[in-house]
Amino acid sequence: MSRVALGDFEITQVRAGFYWWDGGAMFGVVPKTLWSKKYHSDELNRVRMGFNCYVIRTDEHSILIETGAGDKPSTKARERMNMPEAAPGLPAGIPLLGGETRQVELTAGRLHATRVPHAQARNGAPEGPAEKRLHAG
């Protein structure tokens, strides 16, 4: 985890696991001969990507941006992304930052199962104590 202070804000990066995604999809028209110098691909041309989540804290609030993969991806999707069957749960990582999971307010760039899977159970109902407010940007 890396932390940075910015005025009254403390921003902490939380890594919620890794996945592998198609290099061509990630780099578009950039030739593989260029991007492969820095990013190595596997035999299926996938590159390793991180689920990077951020906790922003002030004296009054703790805000979580992004939540990792959660338990939503199917077995087939997990195989396609070379993800472990049981990805590390982000809510378990939040207490490591010195706060209880239920004290975190949740926000995301867009509300989608791939972006905020921990905020929603498989049946679509809100899940867990993490989300006091859910904002769409």
Across the range 31-56, mean pLDDT stands at 92
Cβ(64)–Cβ(105) under 8 Å?
Answer: yes
Least confident window among 11-15, 38-42, 98-102 = 98-102
What one-character-per-residue DSSP string does 92-111 give? HHGGGGTS-GGG-EEE-SS-
47 or 51, which is more confident: 47
- The predicted model scores a pTM of 0.65
103: which 2 tokens? 């004290």
| Domains of the chain, each with CATH number or no CATH | 2-135 (3.60.15.10)
Across the range 91-100, mean pLDDT stands at 58
Least confident window among 4-18, 19-33, 88-102 = 88-102
Q: Is the pLDDT reported for residue 43 higher than 80?
A: yes
What is the structure's pLDDT at 89? 60
pLDDT band, very low/low/confident/very high, at 20 (cuts 50, 70, 90): very high
